[in-house]
Chain A
Amino acid sequence: MINKQVKTTADAVAGVKDGAVVLVAGFGAVGVADDLLEALHNQGAKELTIVANNSGNGDHGLARLINSGRVRKVICSYPRSGDYSAFLNAYRAKSLELELVPQGTISERMRAAAAGLGGFFSPVSANTRLQDGKETREIDGKLHVFEKPLKGDIALIRARTADRWGNLIYTKSARNFNPVMAMAAELTVAQVDNMVELGTMDPETVVTPSIFVDRVVVVGGNA
């Protein structure tokens, strides 16, 4: 019998290696797997590359990993969001590297990795500073920039409901980066509010199919 549910958030993030590329879903504070980030902090992996839209807030989750010196590089579109002092301090101290990527390019680079593609040409950032160092090509008279696929070693996903196969449903705008990141990592781990019996989810409403999900953990006591 397939059962992807694990008991604890520690079980969920077990095995993450130093130097791992970690896909951290969420937009601002919404749809972020905060408890998995805390578990990753306790797990101890270091030299991490984080892929996220923002750069963490306060001193919890991603910000806590940064404050503990565990993050080597952040790939994001908008680090300046909310109380991002953890990132700002590390950035000013030059203790981590920032790769700034337009928001749609980040999500599409992960989608390309998920789809087995070797990258894509995009008109976004053409003729701007962010095209520097990248291959360009004129397509139908318009300059395009080559973007490489972006694959994670692990994706930290936040969803509302899972079944034991790992089918996932989300909540409103907390869906955001979660479905695309879930598809783009070697190991996809989902923090969910509750589990339902296999077969009770309407197949027409499943957003992330089980094939993309490896581990599920319930946080909040509705296991």
Chain B
Amino acid sequence: MTTLNVTPLTRHQLAWRAAQDLPEGAFVNLGIGIPTLAASYVPPGREVIFHSENGVLGLGPAPQSGEEDENLIDAGKNLTTLITGGCYVHHADAFLMIRGGHLDISLLGAFEVSEAGDLANWTTDDPSFPPGVGGAMDLAVGAKEIRVLMDHVSKKGEPRILKTCSLPLTAPRCVKRIYTNLAVIDVTPKGLVVLEMVPGMTLEKLQAITEPKLTLAAAFKEIAPPKMAA
């Protein structure tokens, strides 16, 4: 992103930024990919309980060498652990928790988000592969608050925050907050409001790569990410 003359957040820094906003006592589902990394960056001393769609309530970090259990995996089918106080449930109950509004927050990946908070994250409509939806629609409809983690633009540099999504929707009007590798943006009834940007980014430069109109929050500040792995 040399033309913007800023350093975008790495995947881990993006996950770190989203994790800072998870409140004490929250039940949180992490989507596959970058959202999964957020589990490692909850501030020390804060108890956040992670839910996994395959029936794990109290998902822990990846297992230490020698502690792997092939019967304990997360939604991405990676080996995981259970924290003290955690438990197992069957699939219908795991999705009852999702659909019934029992989760406080779900962090999800996205292909596109619209200014109304429409989410497209389940299919790119590639005809050579079968579509897969998994738990994406359940999470988008059911969790009390949907927050999205995504790269601000596509690999071709095109906006992924759009006036209207071009890809098939996962659910309409569900996204409340967007974390990108360049900014933190809230979806509000008055439009998209920029809360934070990476150092050196300006509203003008961000607007040039974002389709809907952006406004700057009164309490705007710079993101100050810690140095960490890519």
Residues of A within 8 A of B (CB): 27-31, 53, 55, 77-82, 87-88, 91-92, 98, 100-105, 107-108, 110-111, 122-130, 170-180, 207
Contact = CB atoms under 8 A, between A and B. Distances in A.
A123 B90 contact: no
26 contacts: A27-B54, A29-B77, A30-B54, A30-B70, A30-B77, A55-B130, A80-B129, A81-B77, A81-B132, A100-B131, A102-B133, A102-B134, A102-B137, A102-B138, A104-B96, A107-B95, A124-B99, A126-B141, A127-B169, A127-B172, A128-B137, A172-B71, A173-B88, A175-B55, A175-B88, A176-B90
A177 B71 contact: no
B223 interface: no
Contacts of B135: 77, 102-104
Interface string B161-186: 00000001111100000000000000
Nearest to B135: A103
Interface of B: 52-56, 69-73, 77, 82, 88-92, 94-96, 98-99, 128-138, 141-142, 168-172
Contact of A177 (B90, B129, B136, B137): B90
A105 B138 contact: yes
Given A128-B171, A173-B73, A108 B92 contact: yes
A137 B224 CA distance: 47
Contacts of A91: 130
B130 A98 contact: yes
A85 to B, nearest CB: 12
A130 B137 contact: yes
A104 B99 contact: yes
Nearest to A127: B172
Contact of A178 (B90, B131, B171): B90
Given A102-B133, A102-B134, A108-B99, 6 more contacts: A78-B133, A102-B135, A103-B53, A104-B99, A123-B99, A175-B88
Contacts of B134: 77-78, 102-103
B186 to A, nearest CB: 22
Given A79-B130, A104-B99, A124 B92 contact: no
B143 to A, nearest CB: 12
A175 to B, nearest CB: 5
Contacts of B130: 55, 79-80, 87-88, 91, 98, 100
Contacts of B77: 27-30, 81-82
Contact of B71 (A126, A173, A180): A173
A128 B169 contact: yes
A53 B95 CA distance: 13
A123 B90 CA distance: 21
Contacts of A108: 92, 95-96, 99
A104 B95 contact: yes
A208 to B, nearest CB: 9
A128 B169 CA distance: 6
Query: Which of A29, A81, A103, A177: most chain B CB closer than 10 A?
Result: A103
